[in-house]
A and B are shown apart, each in its own frame.
Chain A
Amino acid sequence: MRTSLNEIKQIDDYLFRHTTEADHLLFEARLILQPTLREKVLWQQRTYDIIRQYSRRKLKAEIETVHQQLFNEPEHHSFSRKIRAFFSSFDSAQD
């Protein structure tokens, strides 16, 4: 792998603790000495956060599809009726 990818991998290993204790300490020492590396670590952390947000949205969209299917398709009519019965003042504009 090219150098920049190796560095990405090292940061990945560091952040997810896939390293030995010795390597972890070594990396922390590098972080103290190299501000640019520190900055890259921060951006990579931010990237993992973005990946999680992206993935949650996708997952929620998948769950919503299931919901729509259960509440709109005739074959699930008895299920949706059962649920709707819990909410007496249910707004019929829903779904």
Chain B
Amino acid sequence: MAEMMVTEDVAAERKAFFMDLYQKAFPLVARYVSSMGGSFEEAKDVFQDALVIYYEKLTTAPIELQHSEKAYLLGIAKHLWARKNNSKQRHTSLDDSLEGIAATENDPASSTEKLMELLNTAGQKCMELLRAFYYDKLPLHKISGLFGFSGTRSATVQKYKCLEKIRDTVKEKSLTYEDFLE
């Protein structure tokens, strides 16, 4: 229970971070999208994807911002908007890691969707740990504290155990060959 509360603290920090960015930058993005003839929903989608991209950039490497955060977010949003409205050109200069952000609402019957559902329930504890390691890229000592491990070594061992478990699940459940290739 105690460890759960610490995890929630990290989530609360993230929430405050997004709340701040929303208030600072969404007005700019909304104004831009509206000036381009877009709807509220479209502005929201583009902005939320921009937040995800920004978050992922921050976790990957420190960014030296030339301008303010909000200018940076507006820049990403403009790029996303251009891409969205230029769908004839399927591939732009955005790197592949950004692909899939827009494609999160997939066919509910696809094996990826079924797998996600399963991981959300049966594998959630491991997935949260793996998320902290590989996506949020939290430092080892922090993860160790968050998830209540006795030390960084046991956190590391648990990471590999989870990786093995999830890899087995992925292999077992995902399988049509087409899906694997997509």
Could you tell me which A residues sit within 8 Å of B by CB distance?
1, 4-5, 8-9, 12, 40, 42-44, 46-48, 50-60, 62-67, 69-70, 79, 82-84, 86-87, 90-91, 94
Q: In the complex, how many residues of chain B place their beta carbon closer than 8 angstroms to a beta carbon of chain A?
A: 46
Instruction: Tell me how far the C-beta of A88 lies from the nearest C-beta in chain B, rounded to whole angstroms.
Output: 8
A79 near B167 with CB under 8 A, answer no
Task: Give how many A-B residue pairs fall within 8 Å (CB-CB).
Answer: 117
- The CA of A40 and the CA of B30, in the complex, are separated in Å by 45
The answer to whether A60 and B40 have CB atoms under 8 Å apart is no
B112 in contact with A5 (CB, 8 Å): no
Q: For residue A44, which residue of chain B has the nearest CB?
A: B167
Contact A63 B51 (CB under 8 A): yes
Q: Does B52 contact A (CB under 8 A)?
A: yes
Q: A47-B166, A50-B170, A54-B127 are in contact. List 10 more A-B contacts (CB 8 A).
A: A9-B160, A43-B170, A51-B127, A56-B104, A57-B104, A59-B52, A60-B104, A62-B14, A65-B15, A67-B22
Closest CB-CB distance, A90 to chain B, in whole Å? 6
**Complex interface: chain B residues within 8 A of A4 (CB):** 164
Task: Closest B residue to A65 by CB, please name it.
Answer: B15
Chain B residues with CB under 8 Å of A94's CB are: 40-41
Q: Please, which residues of chain A bring their CB within 8 A of the CB of B26?
A: 70, 83
- The one of A1, A40, A42, A67 in contact with B48, judged by C-beta atoms closer than 8 angstroms, is A67
Indicate the member of A47, A57, A59 with the most B CB atoms within 10 Å. Answer: A47
Closest 8 CB pairs of A and B: A55-B135, A86-B34, A55-B131, A5-B160, A47-B167, A87-B40, A66-B18, A8-B160
Please determine whether B160 and A53 come into contact, CB atoms closer than 8 angstroms.
no
B119 lies within 8 A of A54 (CB):
yes
Q: Which residues of A contact B157 (CB under 8 A)?
A: 1, 5
Q: Which residue of B lies closest to A95 (CB)?
A: B40
- Chain B residue with the shortest CB-CB distance to A42: B180
Question: For the complex, what is the distance from the CA of A90 to the CA of B41, rounded to whole Å?
Answer: 9
Asked if A5 and B164 sit within 8 Å, CB to CB, the answer is yes
Q: Is the CB of A50 within 8 A of B166?
A: yes
B39 beta carbon closer than 8 Å to chain A: yes
Most buried by A among B34, B51, B55, B167: B167
- Whether a CB of chain A sits under 8 angstroms from the CB of B6 is no
Chain A residue with minimal CB distance to B11? A62
Residues of A within 8 A of B163 (CB): 8, 12, 44, 47
- In the complex, are the beta carbons of A70 and B116 less than 8 A apart? no
Q: Which residues of B contact A60 (CB under 8 A)?
A: 48, 52, 104
